[in-house]
Amino acid sequence: MATYSTNEFKAGLKVMLDNDPCAIIENEFVKPGKGQAFSRVKIRNLKTGRVIERTFKSGESIEGADVVDAEMQYLYNDGQFWHFMVPDTFEQYQTDQKVVGDAGKWLKDQDSCTVTLWNDSPLAISPPNFVDLAITETDPGVRGDTSGGGGKPATLETGAVVRVPLFVQIGEVIKVDTRTGEYVSRVKE
């Protein structure tokens, strides 16, 4: 893998830090007029999601991380592992709940999602920003309510629970924003 000098640091660059793959968020050049130059970097550990600050001496190099994003199809969950496939090559990847994390509650069989691979093994899963999912359980709506004031909880086919307007019924398909976990609209079949 290539190494990168502090001069090449920029937002988005994937590097290895303390043996973990990380993404640079921000790089600030720090140099006293009559002193040593440093790079003060804000960096996200891609395994833990934690953001830390780290300083490098200007000109220092660190190893790049082999991290790529791939569009994949979610196949199924066998109870222990989640399985994904690259649609073009049919290549399959499996990973556990720890990596899938919260993304799991938005994934329906056959849906596509982004799998971040580090050294060719899944590091993180990101669902699409919007998903269409059917409601499997919710209280009956109140007659006459068209837009909804408070709303009510609804359980979706993947197990996720979101707040929906009162008029939405079991069996209907809704669009949800996965970044906020909020209901967006009903989807016409």
Partner 1 sequence: MLAELRQFFAERSVLEVETPLLSHTIGTDPQLEFFTTEYCLSPQRQTLFLQTSPEFAMKRLLAAGSGCIYQIGKAFRNGESGRFHNPEFTMLEWYRVGFTLPQLMDEITELFAGLFREQSLQETQRVGYQDVFVSYTGLDPLIFSYQDYCVFAGESQIPEAVDICGHDHALWLDFIFSHKVQPHLGENALCMVYGYPVCQSSLARINQDNAQIADRVELFINGVELGNGYYELTDAKEQSRRFDRELAIRQQQKLPVTVKDQRLIAALESGLPECSGVAIGLDRLLVLLSGSAALDEVLSFPIRRA
| Nearest-approach distance from CB 67 to partner 1, in angstroms | 22
**6 or 116, CB closer to partner 1?**
6
**Does position 3 bind partner 1 by CB under 8 A?**
no
CB 19 within 8 A of CB 10: no
Residue type, 42: K
Q: Which of residues 99-158 bind partner 1 (CB under 8 A)?
A: none
**Does position 32 bind partner 1 by CB under 8 A?**
yes
**55 or 110, CB closer to partner 1?**
55
**Chain mean position to CA 16:** 20
CA-nearest of 160, 177, 162, 171 to 136 is: 171
Of residues 2, 19, 33, 80, which one binds partner 1 by CB under 8 A? 33
**18 or 189, CB closer to partner 1?**
18
| Nearest-approach distance from CB 54 to partner 1, in angstroms | 6
**61 or 114, CB closer to partner 1?**
61
CA-nearest of 114, 110, 90 to 100 is: 114
Of residues 2, 12, 19, 35, which one binds partner 1 by CB under 8 A? 35
Pinpoint the alpha helices (H) of 62-177: 97-100
Q: Which of residues 41-60 bind partner 1 (CB under 8 A)?
A: 53-58
DSSP strand E in the chain: where? Answer: 3-5, 14-17, 20-30, 38-45, 51-57, 61-63, 67-77, 81-85, 92-96, 112-118, 121-126, 130-138, 152-156, 161-164, 173-177, 182-187
Pinpoint the alpha helices (H) of the chain: 97-100
| Nearest-approach distance from CB 69 to partner 1, in angstroms | 27
Of residues 11, 30, 51, 68, which one binds partner 1 by CB under 8 A? 30
Q: Which of residues 10-29 bind partner 1 (CB under 8 A)?
A: 28-29
CA-nearest of 143, 189, 181, 177 to 163 is: 181
Distance (Å, rounded) from C-alpha 99 to C-alpha 26?
A: 25
Of residues 1, 10, 40, 180, which one binds partner 1 by CB under 8 A? 40
Instruction: List residues near partner 1 by CB under 8 A.
Output: 7, 28-38, 40, 53-58
